[in-house]
């Protein structure tokens, strides 16, 4: 669950990523794309705490495994207003990943197991 200060712009931002949303007043929404669900809870005026080392260590908030990470990377990279914070890259632990930062500063990692050569 992501805490957000204003739920409507957050729902709209995720819509451009292909998520459908269901709003449940007061201040709760479920975002869904395929089998992925992200819950939002509005807390008026909420601002995420400042953690100066968070960005440096690329700490993520949600890790989403997909079956075609390259196509998803191309799709999301083409969208205005979507910040790719880490490009598509292979990891030593056998995954290919990329990161997106949402408008509230949450980091989403999209990943797929890297095929063996």
In a domain, 6, yes or no: yes
Question: 3-class SS at 68?
Answer: coil
Looking at the structure, tell me whether residues 24 and 62 fall in a common domain: no
Q: The whole model's pTM is what?
A: 0.88
Q: Which domain holds residue 95?
A: 58-117
Query: What CATH code is carried by the domain that includes residue 83?
Result: 3.30.720.110
Looking at the structure, tell me whether residues 107 and 63 fall in a common domain: yes
Tell whether the torsion through CA atoms of 9, 34, 64 and 112 is positive or negative.
Answer: negative
Residues 16, 8, 32: CA angle, nearest 5 degrees? 50
Q: What is the pLDDT of residue 45?
A: 85
Tokens standing for residue 58: 């690329």
Could you identify the residue written with the tokens 């799709």? 75
Q: What is the pLDDT of residue 96?
A: 97
Q: What is the pLDDT along the chain (117 residues), one digit of tens a residue?
A: 999 999 999 999 999 999 999 999 889 999 999 999 999 999 988 887 777 666 666 788 999 999 999 999 999 999 998 999 999 999 999 999 999 999 998 999 999 999 876
Question: What's the CA gap between 59 and 55, in Å, rounded?
Answer: 6
In a domain, 50, yes or no: no
Question: What's the CA gap between 77 and 28, in Å, rounded?
Answer: 28
């Amino acid at each position: 669950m992501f805490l957000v200060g204003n739920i409507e712009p957050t729902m709209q931002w995720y819509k451009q990523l292909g998520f459908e949303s269901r709003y449940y007043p007061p201040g709760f929404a479920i975002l869904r794309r395929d089998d992925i669900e992200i819950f939002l809870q509005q807390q008026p005026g909420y601002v995420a705490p400042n953690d100066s080392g968070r960005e440096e260590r690329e700490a993520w908030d949600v890790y989403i495994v997909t079956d075609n990470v390259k196509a998803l990377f191309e799709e999301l990279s083409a969208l205005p207003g979507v910040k790719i914070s880490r490009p598509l890259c292979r990891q030593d632990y056998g995954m290919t990943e990329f990161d997106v930062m949402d408008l509230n500063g949450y980091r989403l990692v999209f990943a797929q197991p890297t095929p063996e050569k």
